[in-house]
Amino acid sequence: MDKKLDYIIVGQGLAGSILAYKLLQKGKSVVIIDESKGETSSKKASGLINPITGRRFVKSWKIDELLPFALQFYKSIEETFNTDLIQETKVHRILQSVEQQNDWAAKTKDERYVHYLKNKDVIFHSKTLIENPFGCIEIAPVLKINTPLLIDIFSSYFEKNNLLQRVKFDYKALKIKENKVVYKTFEAEKIIFCEGFGAAKNPWFGNLAYSFCKGEVLWFEAEELPEDFIIGGSTNITPLGNHQFSIGSTYSWDDVSMNITELKKQELIEKLNAIVKCNYTIIKQGAGIRPTIKDRRPIIGAHQTHKNLYIFNGMGTKGLSLAPYFAEEFIEFLEENGSLNSEVKLSRFSKK
């Protein structure tokens, strides 16, 4: 490994991996330090980029820019690493009432939404499979990115190039100098922290407007359930292939432990029973902590005092769409004097 580097990156989840990869593509020298715990947000992510969510069918923030950008980025990864990561799919969102039918009908005429609501028919699935008395609407395109595979691809690539250290970062060992940082045998111009929920323990960025959100997921098998769309409703039922599906995930703001709970298992089974009418078998349960910020925007920028310490975090519930776009914007900010979107700047939380 080189000792003199442009960047040290802490964290090899979605945020750190994409940032490191893009920096390498720009010819920068990088080392990545990750403690390689099995249970990270990125390894638990369902991988969906769903442009329209919520009870009132609202478009996700900046989705018209984020979705095509993400699609192009993940396609380039597929090509470079000769792998299958992306599934272009659709959501069949279960309508709950006549009011929702009317809301949706209005949205299909709204030109800001038509791109995602091209199929204007209400779809009715067999009620022996799916409970949908008011029918379903179709949202497309929706992307499903195989996120655990993506993280594995990046790990192998970084390891092959001798760029990944699988150890816990020791904050006490970081020496901050005027124009560089020194960490053990490495000397770098800048260090970027991408620890996801691990940022809570960071001495320089541990006290930001975090509002971490635990998510639990159940995996189940159902022979008869259709596999060519995601069922959307009070939660998502996502086909995984071979008659396997996931349901979830849940949202808990007051529990940041990684353990799975009986309470959330029962909550998901209730939702599953309310939607799925055919037989199923539960396979397993999992949990992860989403790195969410109070205003639901990423958090990016330099430390107020130590200008060579940076954070790239806060991807929250939408890391798959946010990380590629904002990694690019962040690198332009770091390397080409570009500007950061005011809604993601770390400085938005500084006291005036």
Is 235 a binding residue for ligand FAD by CB under 6 A? The answer is no
Nearest-CB residue to ligand FAD? 13
Whether 235 contacts 215, CB under 8 Å: no
Is 324 a binding residue for ligand FAD by CB under 6 A? The answer is no
Which of 73, 317, 344, 345 touches ligand FAD (CB under 6 A)? 317
Is 197 a binding residue for ligand FAD by CB under 6 A? The answer is yes
Which of 6, 34, 138, 267 touches ligand FAD (CB under 6 A)? 34
Task: Report d(CA 293, CA 296) in Å as an integer.
Answer: 5
Least distance CB 338 / ligand FAD (angstroms): 21
What length is written for the chain? 352
Task: Report d(CA 210, CA 225) in Å as an integer.
Answer: 38
Task: Report d(CA 234, CA 193) in Å as an integer.
Answer: 34
Which of 67, 117, 320, 331 touches ligand FAD (CB under 6 A)? 320
Which of 21, 22, 46, 220 touches ligand FAD (CB under 6 A)? 46
Is 30 a binding residue for ligand FAD by CB under 6 A? The answer is no
Task: Report d(CA 28, CA 7) in Å as an integer.
Answer: 8
Is 243 a binding residue for ligand FAD by CB under 6 A? The answer is no
Give SS3 for 76.
helix
Is 191 a binding residue for ligand FAD by CB under 6 A? The answer is no
Instruction: Give 2 or 35: the residue with its C-beta nearer to ligand FAD.
Output: 35
Is 168 a binding residue for ligand FAD by CB under 6 A? The answer is yes
Give SS3 for 309.
strand
Interface with ligand FAD in residues 98-137 (CB under 6 A) = none
Site size toward ligand FAD, by CB under 6 A = 40
For the chain, the helix, strand and coil percentages under 3-state DSSP, each to the nearest 5: 30, 30, 40
Whether 313 contacts 298, CB under 8 Å: yes
Whether 234 contacts 286, CB under 8 Å: no
Least distance CB 231 / ligand FAD (angstroms): 14
Which of 44, 90, 107, 297 touches ligand FAD (CB under 6 A)? 44
Task: Report d(CA 326, CA 77) in Å as an integer.
Answer: 17
Is 195 a binding residue for ligand FAD by CB under 6 A? The answer is yes
Which of 7, 8, 20, 41 touches ligand FAD (CB under 6 A)? 41
Q: In one letter, which amino acid is 60?
A: S
Is 246 a binding residue for ligand FAD by CB under 6 A? The answer is no
Q: In one letter, which amino acid is 229?
A: F
Task: Report d(CA 291, CA 215) in Å as an integer.
Answer: 11
Task: State the residues that interact with ligand FAD by CB under 6 A.
Answer: 10-16, 33-35, 37, 40-42, 44-48, 168-169, 194-198, 215, 217, 249, 288, 290-291, 313, 315-321
